[in-house]
Structure 1
Amino acid sequence: MFESTGVKLKAPLSKGLLLVLSGLTVMLSLLPQYQHMFEYNLQAVSHQLQVGRLLCGRLVCLDVKDSFCSGMLIYNFRIFERRFGSRKFASFLLGTWCVSALLDLLLAQVVSFLFDDKVEELPAGLLAPVFALFVPFYSSIPRVPVTKVLGLISITNKTLVYIVGLQLLTSSPFMWLLALSGLVSGGLYHSNVLWLQNFLFVPARLCAVAHYLLEPLFSSSQPSGEAPLGMGATLDIQRQQRMDQLDQQLLLAQFNEARANSRHRAQWSRLFPSLRRRRPAPPQPQSQTQPSAPPLPSDNSIAEEQVARLVEMGFSRLDALEALRVSNNDINMATNFLLQH
């Protein structure tokens, strides 16, 4: 974690990419005479070694529809920048961009050899890193059911993101090649099998300069009650999101109350240690006892596997224990609670 919590919530890198890349796409659509400079021509890159064509071709979309779909995905994937910080998010984009650039050339040669179909040009834009973000999205974001269509098809908080990705996948003939290279590069970088995270990362000084330049431009208030990756398209989904927001507010209140009680108990025990050996109250008759509410799960009853999963997602062990305690050991509710608060 290289940035403060406020900077992470603003997600300046995601907003900057969304605005700058979308603006360049609109500008190129109005000035078609300059579009040839941003075409992703594999022959020019591999045979003529045009590095500028590689940089421009894999950055700006020439198709407005591709720019719109990739912009929606970048906006939804900003949750990773909020969770891990802008530097780790930028390092992931840089690492997958470099690895997928090599995979594009390799896959194009394989397709030409197997199917006698020479691949000379691929869709332009920051497409392979966007597809690479589906790897951590699939593995680390919990699947929370929202509603059902006709009682058969289950709609979750991740359904709309997959639909947008499928739309982007079918927009061009060779888009599947970029998607494949992006998914492979995302899996390699996310799992760190080849130690890519050790040498493909954004330097701290560059991140500090970008922090001072981008944060004033994309400053925003902390999101309140925003469901992760949720975009309600129907009244049922919006109603379910509202219920989730109320549940998260209740969990937050229980979380703060539990922390305050534990803090007060620690201070009281430190000031008055003799009260620890206070005699217990005599047991009351069975007829006079009243049924009490079931207690919240203690630290011993919380599954260590669930705590380990939350710790692997980037949360501290103390926060994971508190979230599982107030959510009654529900891993999905605890994850949503930690992501928002």
Structure 2
Amino acid sequence: MEREFDRNHRLSNGYFGSFTMAPLSSLALAGSISSFFITRIHSAMFPPLAEVNVENIIMRRELWKLLISKFYVTDPKQIILTVILILHFKKFEKRYGSRKFASYLCSVFLISLLFELALLYLSSKRHWGLASLPNGPLAVIFSLFVPFYFDIPRIVRAAVIGIPVSGKAIAYICGLQISSSSLESLCVSLIGIAAGGLFRSNFLFLKKYFMIPKIIGTICHKLFSPLLWEVDKVTRTNYGATLELQHLEEEERIEQAMIRATMRIQGNQNAHAGRSLRTWLMGRGAAVVPAEDKVLTLTNMGFNREQAAQALRLYNNDLAQATNHLLAANR
């Protein structure tokens, strides 16, 4: 199964191979880190670039600040946890392809923007007193927890005080750390999960109407793939990768192998179900020995011995059901 997974998905254990077939994830990782350092240098000399609060977005109607704020991260803790989550969630781009993954990101990005705008509007009307919403693609990242929960199988790696701990625990802990840092972070996190749930349920046919055209995907691939660590040949050698990165890649191979094995088993079971049912019905009473006194009772009622024995075998020596069966058969 592992060989089949490697053949179909061309994953590598290497450091750069970790992002093979995941150009968008590598771009998100590089963009998040670079934007963090740029904004840190900028904030040391100038006022904050774009504060997403009620005054700026609702009162002054500076909607561009809400849009710009999604492309940079200013909190040191958030950038570290964001990098860890990107490393976990890049498996979705490898599994579904960059074009479908980009369509998903664009969809949840627009939905989360509308939800955040509605949140700020309600805060201004209800006087909830929300401070500035956190910068960065927080809602988009949290939307990936929806397919992460439903589509990624749980693989137990260890046990702490008798409690099994799976490889998914790190992602959940990082998400909990980000969402619990403030009320505003919790609101944006819930918005991201809601956006991911709407896309998964295909609300208003999102999967149909929010698909990036194939020609745009081809153009972007030709323009940016040389810059995004694309590796065509897969190497089986580890080039200085950290132990955690190697564990993530190993989990991806195991998860894919489990999914494929489960699908094959289900297909075989469905195909075998009809044959098993027919065989069971035809030979149900093959191992049942008809009771001689009950055979005699049925023959005294006018049925021949062979029919009586067959009916008793079929109904496990139940005289009443065997009698009903023979009466119905002779009508």
**TM tier, smaller:** 0.5 to 0.7
Residue 122 of structure 1 aligns to a residue whose secondary structure is coil
Q: What stretches of structure 2 of length at least 5 have no aligned partner?
A: 1-7, 12-18, 272-331
Change (3 A) 1:246 1:208: closer
Cα distance in 2 between the residues matched to 1:40 and 1:231: 38
Change (3 A) 1:127 1:223: farther
C-alpha deviation, 1:111, in angstroms? 5.0
Change (3 A) 1:299 1:161: closer
Cα distance in 2 between the residues matched to 1:18 and 1:247: 24
Residue 204 of structure 2 aligns to a residue whose secondary structure is coil
Equivalent in 69, 90, 104 of residue 57 of structure 1: 69
C-alpha deviation, 1:189, in angstroms? 0.8
Equivalent in 143, 148, 154 of residue 154 of structure 2: 143
Aligned position for 2:218:
208
Aligned position for 1:80:
92
| 1:116-155 superposed Cα distances (whole Å, 9 cap, x missing partner) | 42225201111000000000000100111112112x2211
Q: What stretches of structure 1 of length at least 5 have no aligned partner?
A: 256-297, 306-341
C-alpha deviation, 1:16, in angstroms? 0.7
In the alignment of these two chains, the number of paired residues is 246
Cα distance in 2 between the residues matched to 1:93 and 1:197: 11
Change (3 A) 1:299 1:133: closer
Aligned position for 2:37:
26
Change (3 A) 1:225 1:155: farther
One-letter amino acid of the counterpart of residue 167, structure 1: Q
Runs of 4+ in structure 1 over 6 Å off:
244-248, 298-301
Q: CA RMSD in A?
A: 3.7
1:325-340 alignment to 2 at 5 Å? none
CA contact (8 A) 2:54 2:124 kept: no
CA contact (8 A) 1:13 1:214 kept: no
Cα distance in 1 between the residues matched to 2:42 and 2:129: 29
Cα distance in 1 between the residues matched to 2:128 and 2:96: 41
Cα distance in 2 between the residues matched to 1:301 and 1:208: 35
Change (3 A) 1:43 1:206: farther
Equivalent in 28, 52, 68 of residue 40 of structure 1: 52
Change (3 A) 1:127 1:222: farther
C-alpha deviation, 1:209, in angstroms? 2.2
CA contact (8 A) 2:29 2:83 kept: yes
Residue 39 of structure 1 aligns to a residue whose secondary structure is coil
Change (3 A) 1:197 1:299: closer
Q: Which has the higher contact order (CA 8 A, sep 6+)?
A: 2
Equivalent in 109, 112, 116 of residue 100 of structure 1: 112
One-letter amino acid of the counterpart of residue 16, structure 1: L
Aligned position for 1:70:
82
Residue 146 of structure 1 aligns to a residue whose secondary structure is strand
Bigger CA radius of gyration? 2
CA contact (8 A) 2:21 2:94 kept: yes
Residue 48 of structure 2 aligns to a residue whose secondary structure is helix
| 1:155-194 superposed Cα distances (whole Å, 9 cap, x missing partner) | 1121111111111112233101101110101000122122
One-letter amino acid of the counterpart of residue 154, structure 1: P
Aligned position for 2:187:
177
More helix as a share of residues: 2
Matched, 1:302 2:302: no
Equivalent in 133, 138, 153 of residue 122 of structure 1: 133
1:132-171 alignment to 2 at 5 Å? 132-150=143-161, 152-171=162-181
